[in-house]
Structure 1
Amino acid sequence: MSDSPENDIISDADIETLTGYKNPSKQCRSLRDAGIFFITRRDGRPRTTWEHFNNPLSQRQKIIGCGNPEPNFGALD
């Protein structure tokens, strides 16, 4: 299947436990509100990996510092 547990897809049962919802649209809303990347399957259920859950895109952008696009020109002295 996959090389590492981070890339393992989260099961439907685990998505239900993590979001607290049985309804797929509420699960999707919960993941979206948390900034977790997922895709929506044809049956409406969200699908994501443990890596996306444990390291959401919304948190990665804060860590990288996307809010400061200019270089520190003072460091060139």
Structure 2
Amino acid sequence: MATILNEMLTEQQLIELTGYTKASAQIKQLKLQGIHYHLRSDGKPVVTWTAVNYPFTHRAVANDNVPNFGAISNG
């Protein structure tokens, strides 16, 4: 299963995912969906199945806004 998740989407699958054939429109849609992508040298986006199945918008984010109670001294 890990090999499937790391496979890249075909151009047709990317069109089906985004609804667009033009690279700039695909990139805009990927950003809206929170899906990570890389750009090829010709400007077209490349996306793995891992990025589709686990977009940034659904990943757990560490909560760094927790106070550091260890920094409080008693004296």
User: Which bracket does the TM-score occupy, shorter chain normalised?
Assistant: 0.7 to 0.9
Question: Aligned residues: percent identity?
Answer: 31
Letter in 2 for 1:26: A
- Runs of 4+ deviating beyond 2 Å: 66-69
- Point out where structure 1 has 5 or more consecutive residues left out of the alignment: none
Alignment partner, residue 40 of structure 1: 39
TM-score (norm: length of structure 2): 0.77
- Point out where structure 2 has 5 or more consecutive residues left out of the alignment: 70-75
Letter in 1 for 2:52: F
* Equivalence map 1:1-77=2 (5 Å): 4-60=3-59, 63-64=60-61, 66-67=62-63, 69-70=65-66
Calculate the aligned-residue CA RMSD, in Å.
Answer: 1.9
Larger Rg: 2
TM-score (norm: length of structure 1): 0.75
Structure 2: how far apart are the matches of 1:69 and 1:52? 27
